[in-house]
Amino acid sequence: MRLWPRNLPGQIALIVALALFVAQAINFALILNERRQFRLDGAVGPVAARVVDAQQSGHNRRPSPPSERKPPNSPWGFRPRLVQANPVRAGLKNRPEVERGLRDALVEAGFRAGRIVTGMRLIDPGEPRFDHMGMERAQRFRSAGSELLIAIEQPGAGWWIVTVPWQDSDWPIVSRLAGQTLVIYAVVLLPMLWATRRISRPLRSLADAAHTFRPGEDGDAIEEMGPNDVRTLIAAFNALRLRVTAMLEEKDRMLGAIGHDLRTPLAALRVRIESVEDDDDRAKMADTIDEMNRTLEDILSLARLGRPSEPVTDVDLAALVDAVVEDFRDLGEPVTFEESDRLRMHLRPSLIRRAVRNLIENAVKYGGGADVLLRTTADTAGIIVCDNGPGIPENRIAEVFEAFTRLENSRNKETGGIGLGLALARAIVREAGGDIILKNRPEGGLAATITLPR
């Protein structure tokens, strides 16, 4: 499952949401800690002051006799009272932090205290004692939902008892902070999502146009929209596309002129060599002119790949490869093709045919022959050309795809060519959205694989 969104607005929203969550978590921890400290100080300080004040003023110094004691919830009140025994029942939840805080406060006030016992007790809002209590104080007890019973032992005198309202649950503040977080998310994230979508929509259009841009293809300029910086970027891309198209058109005109200017004298030379009387010299001259024509054709084809004139059509790839192999068989070359089912592909047939021919030529020239196979998957079609030659050193496989690179060190074109075959083949295949991979075979020789998307 993908947790990280792929679009820009989603990523920004997620980052901001996480940042807000962390900030609110820190804020929650600080507020909760402050609230607990405030609650502790609100219980410890007043209780310690009232107990010390009651002890020093001499009120209630005589412990109440057992016969005068009332039920456990009756003698408790906000004003300290002195009783003979600890009235906090066993089993009630105690508050150790209150006990520690009271001991420190009483020691600081000079009160000699023995044991300090606390216990939590739920409050029944309908208790009669609230009728004899001030309205504000009764409301504090009822809203707290529970009270903290405190018993402080004064050695030789008895136990001072007092009760204070105590809200044991932190749920009210948690719910308020949760509501506050939702409000912040609504106020911050919704406008931010709107703003990021306004920015990302033209950026997506620009990215799509850059991915689909093909020099020479007619296309409308991208609409300039969004913030000023984005509009400036789109305008720059529209201008760049026009400049690139104009440069490529100029390059095509220049290449056409070069091809015409070179082919004309080559044709004239071909005519003139017919007057050479020596048959061997005449044949060598003709071969040289043919080689120059092939080299010129390869260079012009490689330079024009960015703007192919051939349209994309539906082609049976198996029949196309079989036709190329048949051409080599007609020349007596040891080339085989493993029969394959029909495979409809959408491509430029002449260019793909040339790429396959270049690979087979290399296999015949350096490996003594070629075995051609067609392998398909759900997403790709692969044309594999295998030979039984010496292979290519692993550290030079990437190098052989560079134009005019020859592994054969001599300058003999019969053994090394001019180094354009693989470069041209890879450029053709990549223009079709595929790639070429060269791999040495474990049993010897080289396997060149053309992979095309289906």
Q: For the ranges 287-301, 377-391, 436-450, which has the lowest average pLDDT? A: 287-301
In order of 165, 167, 245, the CA distances from 130 in angstroms are: 12, 17, 90
The count of other CB atoms within 10 Å of the CB of residue 328 is: 21
Q: What is the pLDDT of residue 60?
A: 47
The string of pLDDT tens digits covering residues 40-98 is: 887 788 888 888 888 877 654 444 443 333 444 445 556 788 888 888 888 888 888 88
What Rg do the C-alpha atoms of the chain give, in angstroms? 46
Residues ≥6 apart with Cβ < 8 Å to 231? 202, 224, 225
Residues ≥6 apart with Cβ < 8 Å to 101? 40, 41, 43, 44
pLDDT band, very low/low/confident/very high, at 145 (cuts 50, 70, 90): low
The string of pLDDT tens digits covering residues 242-284 is: 888 888 777 777 777 777 777 778 788 878 888 877 878 888 8
Q: Which helix (H) or strand (E) holds 323?
A: helix 317-330
Q: What is the pLDDT of residue 258?
A: 74
How far apart CA 311 and CA 322 sit, in angstroms, is: 21
Q: For the ranges 269-273, 292-296, 325-329, which has the lowest average pLDDT? A: 292-296
Q: What is the pLDDT of residue 63?
A: 46
DSSP state of 149: E
Q: Find out if CATH 3.30.565.10 is the number for domain 311-453.
A: yes
The model's pTM is 0.47
Q: What is the pLDDT of residue 67?
A: 35
- 437-441 long-range contacts (CB < 8 A, ≥24 apart) are 438/392, 438/397, 438/400, 439/397, 440/391, 440/392, 440/394, 441/386, 441/391
The string of pLDDT tens digits covering residues 178-222 is: 888 888 888 887 888 787 777 778 888 888 888 888 766 667 788
Q: What is the pLDDT of residue 254?
A: 77
* Per-domain residue ranges of the chain: 8-172, 228-302, 311-453
Higher pLDDT, 125 or 95: 95
Phi, psi of 162 (to 5 degrees): -160, 155
Q: What is the pLDDT of residue 318?
A: 92
The share of the chain scoring above pLDDT 70, in percent, equals: 80
Whether the per-residue pLDDT at 422 is higher than 90: the answer is no
Q: What is the pLDDT of residue 179?
A: 83
Q: Which helix (H) or strand (E) holds 105?
A: helix 96-108
Phi, psi of 272 (to 5 degrees): -70, -30
Work out the average pLDDT over 337-347: 88
Higher pLDDT, 129 or 146: 146
Q: What is the pLDDT of residue 395?
A: 84
Residue 250: strand, helix, or coil: helix
Q: What would the two tokens of residue 3 be?
A: 């947790």
Please, are residues 364 and 386 in contact by the beta-carbon 8 Å criterion? no
The string of pLDDT tens digits covering residues 149-184 is: 889 988 888 899 888 877 766 677 777 778 888 888
Residue 69: strand, helix, or coil: coil
The share of the chain scoring above pLDDT 90, in percent, equals: 11
The count of other CB atoms within 10 Å of the CB of residue 295 is: 15
Whether the per-residue pLDDT at 138 is higher than 70: the answer is no
The string of pLDDT tens digits covering residues 407-418 is: 655 444 454 455
Q: What is the pLDDT of residue 398?
A: 81
- Dihedral of CA atoms 148, 149, 152, 153 in degrees, nearest 10, equals -150
Q: What is the pLDDT of residue 446?
A: 92
> What single string gives the DSSP state of each residue in 289-317?
HHHHHHHHHHHHHHHTTTS--SPPEEEEH
Nearest to 74 by CA among 163, 134, 146, 158: 163
Higher pLDDT, 381 or 13: 381
Burial annotation 98-123 (CB, 10 A radius, 16+ → b, else e): bbebbbebbeeeebebeebbbbebeb
Q: What is the pLDDT of residue 72?
A: 41
Q: What is the pLDDT of residue 278?
A: 81
